[in-house]
Amino acid sequence: MDASLYPRMAAVEDAHWWFSGRRAIVDRLIERLSLPPGAAILEPGCGTGGNFPMLARRGRLYAMDSDPAAIGFAAARGLAELAEGSLPARVPFGNLEFDLVVMTDVLEHLDDPAGALRALQRRLKPGGALLATVPAGPWMWSEHDVTHHHRRRFRAAEFGAMLRAGGFEIIYLSHYNFLLFPAIAGARLIQRLRRPDVSAARHDLTMPPPALNRILRGIFASERFIVGAARIPFGVSLIAMARTIAPADRFAADGA
């Protein structure tokens, strides 16, 4: 993402319906993991730290980002140990192993998402968990993806195969943001018809009017009661929970 957008992201992500709704869904899924007391949690690609209050309640939080501007905003929250780093080559914090890695919309920014998953798998404790979200549906490519420097949008089968190849056992994989999917998908298709060339895209980090923001947040966040309990075949994004596979288990899975 352009460094110039970090101040705007820092200003809106605590209250914006998209960020707050996604946090509600992710938080609910983390509850299912039964993390140990004082769990070591890593957030790669932490951006300006909007997830920090949620994650810091559940353990000792470590976070990394490749952009010093993002780290500056994240550090102001005072909730995580921060370091510059990049995936897959440079994961900081020495030899520390983690109980949980949380990545919300990070893999789509990377040239080598498969390599990133392998690198993170090596830094998880045996049985450690990964929770990751990515944008779904290559056909939904829009100005939003260009502005946020996305490299791709994922199909569910592709995302699942990448997780398994990275040494993970999938606990749960589903689309989400399905209640607002018709409206969002329709808007993006219309946008592409009106402006086929999205190379000069505009950012969409703007706050809706307060009443509309509350309505959208309520709709999106309500999915937390469904996501995790059922697999949804459509939606704007994908969400996955996975655990590391021990070397012997991975060998058996590869040979099956």
CATH of the domain at 46: 3.40.50.150
155-182 per-position pLDDT tens digit: 999 999 999 999 999 999 999 999 999 9
- pLDDT for res 203: 58
Total domains, the chain:
1
Confidence of residue 197 (pLDDT cuts 50, 70, 90): low
Q: Which of 26-30, 184-188, 218-222 has the lowest mean pLDDT?
A: 184-188
Q: Is the pTM higher than 0.95?
A: no
Neighbours of 199 (CB within 10 A): 7
Task: Check if the beta carbon of residue 244 is closer than 8 Å to that of residue 124.
Answer: yes
Using a CB cutoff of 8 Å and minimum separation of 24, what contacts does 205-214 make? 205/5, 205/8, 205/9, 205/12, 205/16, 206/12, 207/12, 207/15, 207/16, 208/17, 213/15, 213/16, 213/17, 214/17
C-alpha distances in Å from residue 89, one per residue of 7, 40, 92, 161, 185: 27, 21, 10, 21, 35
- Write out the residue range of the structural domain in which residue 212 sits: 3-255
